[in-house]
Structure 1
Amino acid sequence: MSQLSELAHKVRAQLTAPGAPFEVVEEVVRGQAFRVYRNAFRTLPELLASARAHGDKPFIVYQGETWTFARFFAEADALAAQMREWGLGPGARVAIAMRNRPEWGVAFVAAALIGAVPAPLNSFGLGEELHDALADVEPQLFVCDVERLERVGGAVPVGGCRVLCVGDGAVPAGVAAYAELAARAATPAALPALQPDDPALILFTSGATSRAKGVLSSQRAVCQALFNIDFIGALSGMTSPEVVAALMARGLPPTTLTAVPLFHVSGLHAQLLTSLRNGRRLVFMPRWDPEKAIELIRAERITQFNGAPSMVMQLLAQPGFDDPAVTGSLGGLGFGGAGLPQRLIDEVMQRKPNSMSGIGFGLTETNGVAAATSGSLFAYKPRSSGLTSPIIEVRVVDAAGQPLPQGEQGEIWLRGVTVMDGYWRNPEASSAAMSEGWFRTGDVGYLDEEDFLFVVDRIKDVINRCGEKIAAAEVESCLLHLPDVLEAAVFAVPDEDTGEAVAAVLSVREDSALDAEAVRAHVAAHLAAYKVPAVVQVRSQALPRNPAGKLLKGQLRAAFVAAPEH
């Protein structure tokens, strides 16, 4: 074991020891013993209310306007009061669908403060996808922006659901206007009497293996996950003292550029809620634009950027990235997910040396908790996904579910207090994903001798485009609605800009005039834009299958990648 690794384990033991800030104890939750942080908040309303202490400090910068914590909570209190007038309370579900903007956070916090269950929806989804999610959640309130309201046709497929619209201009009859309600004065109400096992959040998966599923998490799970983010920061800081000292000497307030969607755990937990709790500043981007991101980093003195590896690569490709006058404030780049491409590692190490760059691996189903690292530890093993969390158990198993020794690859299973209660109204999927308290991630990896987790592959048939996971089955199902299509195979191919791109091979009727442009137009009319195939091959020959009748996607993918035109 290296000196740095020994230091990391020593610091971990120190931070989690009895009486320490991140003391870990054993707690029985619903009949199972889990490791938990003793000092974590017990409920989300308690955690959120603690952030009122930040007062007039700047919190969110959005399109040139700065929201203080005081303004943010004033609008959250006004909205929470209106929710209570509408009869919402503990357990009520509030769906949210908007691009990244301050009002997204206000809606979330207002709902959580009254004990309601926020249910953020994929704002990239088209009308059909939003309708499906709303019908699944059955919210009592739907908070959206004008664009999302137009996508659902101004109506929600749920009886008795109110609609609150954020944005300029008049709203349709029967729809409440956010600006009018948020302007009303309201005093903070008493916090609801919640228990740690009560529901806190429904967060949708990316739909990596099929249609997106709602993930129901308890108050305890969310609060423990947020406290775990603070632990990661403490561990990384104490193992990178020189880097931290240099960053602090700059005297810049911690400021994160938020470009990842707030409806994902990486945006919600790691950026919005963590910054809210700790009094840090956020700069919101309503949509990803690397050129605009560079300008915001310069103008707002951004100190941290976290995003999908492909987003970081696009940022590094901007002409001004290496200019200290532009990105000199940037103290770290953060990545989510599996192992990084070597090219990206080399660029980050060369162009942002001695930084607090890092990586984290977690899932919606675990509230983002599994492994993470930054600073010196990231530089030590940049191909890993980090050190495992003190409150999560990691098991690597073979096809029969039997544990494998260190260094041997298998499916990663996770067990801990932050694991979901289950998939919302989907007991079959919950049962399939869980085994005696263990969550089956569907990811292949291994643990090394120093407790670093390496994620090397995915079992699930999924395309990871700019951090958005796309289920091949969903796109295939859409393609098969075309009358001329006999077979459809959708898979990932490497892409310089997005990491992975959606590729589709179609077998069509011999007399068909269907072309790639028509195929893309069809998908664009039914699914979100990022799910539209970037490359399409239309042919009259049958697609290759094995003796069991399963499509040989590996063969198709290999041919695609090898073809000169791709």
Structure 2
Amino acid sequence: VDAGAKVLITDRERVDRIGDRLSALNIPGLVIRAEGELPAGCDHLADVVTPGAPMPAVDVATDDDATILFTSGTTGVPKGAVSTNRAVLSGLFAFACRTTVEAIRWAPDTPPDPATTPAPVPPCFILTVPLFHVTGCVPVMLGSVATGAKLVMMHKWDPLRALQLIDREKVTNFVGVPTMSHDLISHPDFEKYDTSSLKNVGGGGAPMAPELVRKIEGSFEGKASPQLGYGLTETNGYGPGNTGPDYMEKPSSTGRVVPIMQVKIVDPNDSEQPNGEVGEVCLAGPMLIRGYWNRPEATAETIRNGWLHTGDLGYLDDEGFLYVVDRIKDMVLRGGENVYCSEVEAAIFEYEGIHEVAVFGLPHDRLGEEVVAAVHPTPGTSIDLDELSAFLAERIAPFKIPSQWYIREEPLPRGATGKILKREIRDRILDGNF
């Protein structure tokens, strides 16, 4: 096992899937939320850990390893990103710094009168993503613990259940991937629940289409602000963030370069690019991982001279705002022209009736690659492809318009973090079973 795990802490659902393999790997299992007999080598956590019992004393140094969080693997094999205590805490303090800067920037010129202004709803986050990925573990869970904020934990993503919890628990901050925000505001029962407590709706993990930004702004009585964070597993989730009036003015940006983190754009020769020129996004700061678990070659390739090479293509504008245009591996090279899939997806999202979309490249004999789109329409709607193509012709260059469309009544496949699995869709199309 690549992780070198010594024990597995899991729940009933997962131990039923993999329990028989644990004994072969010689890894004991501790199971929560389970009744009845367990597979050989597994015990109920409650039978092993006594509530309130003292934990063994351990000396912990600042630069000791603290976490191994595996990347989502949507563009390749997942890698274990190793963070030290310093890196995790630097990420948390950096989030606090960024939040403070934003609060100062957007504070009203005249403080509200406490005699006439209702008391603010206490901060409350809802955990919509798994704790084994960085967003759930660091910004949401550890961030809530560090600040004393209330945390509502979902067992798994369900938009209706999320609406019920937002209403009941008065959630103020919704953090997830853009597909989750879209699921929330497009749910048929959205208007039945009180979402007025929400102040921020957004997250990260993928670019948010400008049309979705506008929909969020108009869906919560003007009280909830759309937000987007550009953070990676390798940065403990921290990075440029876009929120408030900035986001409405620049909905295509992932936000302004932030305190405690350096950002630069480089060409394939690692030469720094001027503002406005597209290149690879590189990040540096104390919140970076020290490397990948048991993957020295990947570490050396990704972290060079203190800079994390993200594999994302982007550019900086003259005001210091970062624009991420695509993954290097996702960019389609069509007849010598670069096609950024996120740009095409954003244009498609503007068309009425689009619930999910994934744009990617497929092999083409003459062009090298052709642009292809998989679409899941909003339930109850149908898509006229001729009309959609004409709609896109008014917004993007002709060579960027998909030449093949795959319309699915079922939702597009997603990974554990909610990201659409383009590689799986592409492979299934090539295999003829999509």
Q: What is the TM-score of this pair, normalised by structure 1?
A: 0.57
The AA in structure 2 aligned to 1:493 is A
Aligned to 1:204: 70
Which digits, 9 at most, give the CA deviation of each residue in 1:166-201, with x for residues without a partner? Answer: 1221233432211234453324665x3222211111
CA RMSD between the two structures: 3.7
Q: 1:376 to 1:461 in 2, by over 3 A?
A: closer
Cα separation, 1, equivalents of 2:24 and 2:149: 37
Cα separation, 2, equivalents of 1:147 and 1:234: 41
Aligned to 1:304: 173
Q: 1:241 to 1:162 in 2, by over 3 A?
A: same
Aligned to 2:281: 412
Cα separation, 2, equivalents of 1:246 and 1:341: 37
**Contact kept? 2:178, 2:204, Cα under 8 Å:** yes
Q: 1:346 to 1:329 in 2, by over 3 A?
A: same
> Displacement of 1:370 after TM fit?
2.2
Cα separation, 2, equivalents of 1:158 and 1:401: 46
Aligned partner of residue 136 in structure 2, secondary structure: helix
Which digits, 9 at most, give the CA deviation of each residue in 1:430-485, with x for residues without a partner? Answer: 112122221111111111111111111111249999xxxx9x9xxxxxxxxxxxxx
Aligned to 1:267: 136
The AA in structure 2 aligned to 1:179 is A
Out of 302, 315, 322, the position equivalent to 1:453 is 322
Question: Which runs of 5 or more residues in structure 2 are unaligned?
Answer: 332-340, 346-357, 361-369, 380-405
**Contact kept? 1:393, 1:414, Cα under 8 Å:** yes
Aligned partner of residue 86 in structure 2, secondary structure: helix
Count of residues in correspondence between the two structures: 361
Cα separation, 2, equivalents of 1:256 and 1:529: 20
Aligned to 1:30: none
Which digits, 9 at most, give the CA deviation of each residue in 1:480-523, with x for residues without a partner? Answer: xxxxxxxxx9986354579xxxxxxxxxxxxxxxxx9xxx9xx9
Q: 1:201 to 1:405 in 2, by over 3 A?
A: same
Q: 1:336 to 1:405 in 2, by over 3 A?
A: same
> Displacement of 1:388 after TM fit?
1.8
Cα separation, 2, equivalents of 1:240 and 1:255: 20
Out of 329, 338, 361, the position equivalent to 2:197 is 329
Q: Does 1:177 align with 2:58?
A: no
> Displacement of 1:381 after TM fit?
2.5
Cα separation, 2, equivalents of 1:364 and 1:167: 28
Aligned to 1:399: 268
**Contact kept? 1:224, 1:418, Cα under 8 Å:** yes
Out of 67, 75, 85, the position equivalent to 1:219 is 85
**Contact kept? 2:20, 2:40, Cα under 8 Å:** no
**Contact kept? 2:202, 2:228, Cα under 8 Å:** yes
Q: 1:146 to 1:375 in 2, by over 3 A?
A: same
**Contact kept? 1:236, 1:377, Cα under 8 Å:** no
Cα separation, 1, equivalents of 2:296 and 2:63: 18
> Displacement of 1:310 after TM fit?
1.3
Cα separation, 2, equivalents of 1:189 and 1:242: 49
Q: 1:158 to 1:279 in 2, by over 3 A?
A: farther
Alignment of 1:50-199 (within 5 A): 135-156=1-22, 161-170=27-36, 171-187=38-54, 190=57, 192-199=58-65
Cα separation, 2, equivalents of 1:401 and 1:410: 9
Q: 1:331 to 1:449 in 2, by over 3 A?
A: same
Q: Tell me whether 237-246 or 434-443 shows the greater mean CA deviation.
A: 237-246
Cα separation, 2, equivalents of 1:539 and 1:193: 53
Cα separation, 2, equivalents of 1:402 and 1:179: 56
Out of 235, 245, 259, the position equivalent to 1:390 is 259
Q: 1:158 to 1:366 in 2, by over 3 A?
A: farther
Q: 1:193 to 1:400 in 2, by over 3 A?
A: same
Aligned partner of residue 207 in structure 1, secondary structure: coil
Cα separation, 2, equivalents of 1:282 and 1:539: 43
Q: What is the TM-score of this pair, normalised by structure 2?
A: 0.73
Structure that is richer in helix per residue: 1
Q: Does 1:371 align with 2:240?
A: yes
Cα separation, 1, equivalents of 2:431 and 2:90: 52
Which digits, 9 at most, give the CA deviation of each residue in 1:146-167, with x for residues without a partner? Answer: 1111221334267653321112
Aligned to 1:493: 374
